[in-house]
Structure 1
Amino acid sequence: MRHRLLRRAMPLPPPPSPPPAPRTPGVAGGRIFSSLPTPPPLQSRREVHVWYLLPDELNDASQLKMYMDLLSPSERKTALSMNGEKLQKGAVLSRALVRTTLSRYTDCKVDPRSFEFKKNKFGKPEILWRSDDSGMEWPLHFNISHTSSLIACGITMDTPIGIDIEEKKRKTAKNILSLARRYFTPSEVDCLAKIPDPDAQRKEFIKLWTLKVSESFCWSST
């Protein structure tokens, strides 16, 4: 697949304090997102749009509460069960990014709070469309990944997507080549072994690792 878009997700403007939305077209969602640009269309199954945000830039308590209000009760419970405010904040923003991004790809016809999700047989989350959603079902696929400093959400149409991001200065507990021999193909290990510079070798290892994890995330959550 080719990346067509890599764009920072924009903060939401203050909402007009609507009540929790039912599973109906998102009138409130349309108002919330009225000032945001419509994302460019996904014109083929080979396109991937990636939206990201930087958690450290979002520190306004009222805005974080607004994001929390977009989550389902189970998502809120999971987020608040995280150990420490930083992890809780990351969990809230991750789920809010998924919901707001998906909503925008329906032209805000589906309120971000209205989305429900299911897991496929491999454990990967997918959108759950109800039988009463006739005429409102979009063939959207998504995947999300995060580090301590960045959260990214990938969107495709009609085809599964996997996305993985890693810290640029990630340290490995084991020797890179010994770790590569466990997970990489012989040709990939040979390619790494021929790189004399340790820093360049580590960067190439992380690039290959990220590609492999992304591929696995196309189908499963682990």
Structure 2
Amino acid sequence: MSGLAAPARDVLPAATAEAGVWLLAESQVEPLAAAAPPEEVLSDDERDRVARLRGPGARRRGLGARLLARLLLARYAGVRPSVLSFATRWHGRPELSPNPWRLRFNLSHSEGLIACVVTSEVPCGVDVQRPVGQDVLHHLAMALSEPEAARLSVLRPGPPQARVLVDTWTVKEAYTKALGVGLRYGFEHLTVEGLPDGPVSLHDARVRHAEDRPWRFRLDHLPTGHSLAVAVRRPGPAPYPIVVRQFMDSPHISLEGVAL
């Protein structure tokens, strides 16, 4: 549950060296769009999709997510953001196509915050959730496995239970998004372990237990109140850290270095 990493270099870290997680505050979407105009960065289809979203908040977050993904992927690939193209895979997951750089990415947004994770070839998923009301907590509780429900029952009702519920859901979302299957996978087959104090791991009853081990998880409680979870399938025995940074405040990212 550690805090955000302090950037230590003035160049973008290689996607082969780490899973880079980048956060964009919703309040920063308009300044970002002013610096990187959507008509110069996004495709016509992307702008149309954003325009069709209901409500100004949804449109703002949708625009921020698409700008964030294109600008990040362009910097990792060393190309102009506008030349990137995407294809929709199973369950609506977008991927670069063509993708000679072998980059993988995943997006999530919740009111107030947008997140994007980028890796090289490695399956990855990210989910961000803001604090929710009692009606939503009841819905989240229906997705618990039996061991999770038993552990939750011994926690004090109120904020402790609510935090564990949201964290459990967020980790499961990140994992199933990394798999590319989404909510249809059946969250009751997944058991998140290590909550409330970590370290976090996950057991998937649908696979052999030995296959759980290559997955690495990171869970953060952000100053904004959001829970952030990242799931990465480790490429091998070498360390592959998950590093979280702020997009607009990081020296790794300079819009002056992006050829629009």
Larger relative CO (CA 8 A, sep 6+): 1 or 2?
2
What's the offset of the Cα at 1:95? 0.3
1:105 aligns with 2:76: yes
Give the distance between the partners of 2:151 and 2:32, measured in 1 at CA: 48
Report the CA distance shift for 1:197/1:75 in structure 2 as closer, same or farther (over 3 A). same
TM-score, normalised to structure 1, is: 0.71
Structure 1, unpaired ranges of 5+: 9-35, 131-136
Partner residue, 1:48? 19
Equivalent in 105, 110, 124 of residue 161 of structure 1: 124
Give the distance between the partners of 2:48 and 2:6, measured in 1 at CA: 29
Secondary structure of the residue aligned to 2:92 is: coil
Structure 1 or 2, whichever has the larger Rg, is 1
**Aligned-pair identity (%):** 25
1:115 aligns with 2:61: no
Query: How many pairs were matched up?
Result: 179
What's the offset of the Cα at 1:62? 6.7
1:193 aligns with 2:156: no
Secondary structure of the residue aligned to 2:123 is: coil
Runs of 4+ residues over 6 Å off in structure 1:
none
Secondary structure of the residue aligned to 2:87 is: strand
Q: Deviations over 1:136-187 (max 9, x none)?
A: x1111000000120100011111211110000x21141664x742x312111
Higher strand share: 2
Give the distance between the partners of 2:181 and 2:48, measured in 1 at CA: 23
Contact 1:68 1:96 in 2 (8 A): no
Return the letter of the residue paired with 2:13: P
Contact 2:84 2:96 in 1 (8 A): yes
Q: Deviations over 1:98-121 (max 9, x none)?
A: 000001112x2x211111111223
Return the letter of the residue paired with 2:23: Y
Give the distance between the partners of 1:179 and 1:90, measured in 2 at CA: 23
What's the offset of the Cα at 1:41? 1.7
Structure 2, unpaired ranges of 5+: 184-260
What's the offset of the Cα at 1:84? 3.1
1:220 aligns with 2:193: no
Correspondence 1:18-37 to 2 at 5 A: 37=10
RMSD over aligned Cα atoms: 2.7
Secondary structure of the residue aligned to 1:164 is: strand
Equivalent in 47, 53, 57 of residue 28 of structure 2: 57
